[in-house]
Structure 1
Amino acid sequence: MEKKFIINLIVRGNTLENGDVMNLPSIQDLLTKLQLVLINELQREEVADYAAQYVMNDDYEVQDEELWELLNIVSGIDLKDSPDEYLHDERDIRDWIHRFQRK
């Protein structure tokens, strides 16, 4: 069963219509990006764009429900509540990191 899942990801999840190969990020990849946002090493917009490319692209079939949920959350990290404030504050980002951290 596990081999079928891995093969399915390779065949269906990584090749775009134009033939380019794009690998799905792992949950840890996304958590690292969130941590880099917290220490101002990455901009929220950059991380949101990174996640959104997987959420908005119909060529991907993300079968890991936790990964899909985190991709959707991260794709909205740059939403603003007002011109000067983000909808999600640093506490939200820390909560997401804690929630999705695999032990």
Structure 2
Amino acid sequence: EKKSLARLLGEPDPACRTREGDAHPFDRAALERLASVLNRDEAEKLRLPLTLIVSGDSEDSAYLTDELGAKALRAIEKFDRAFPFRDGRMALPHSLAVDLVRRHGGALQLAFA
């Protein structure tokens, strides 16, 4: 289950459910960081958690296909011109993807394709 950033910010204990039915909690500070770089409409549109896809095609990279999520991550992480969103994805080194998942309090997850 994915929820909008705006909805999660309105919950006392922000969380969604995994496919298995378990709680997937979000760190409020991580949600507030995302909200700080988006306008209200964007916060309604952004669905969390964002999924970084690790593909067998490319062993050392992961990619994000959510353009709004990529915009928010680029702003928070101050990527400047690094890791542009093009051709429907933002590609990242695998090590950076793992670090981002660790630091963003449930707002990002890895999926293996």
TM range (shorter): under 0.3
TM-score (norm 2): 0.26
More strand as a share of residues = 2
More helix as a share of residues = 1
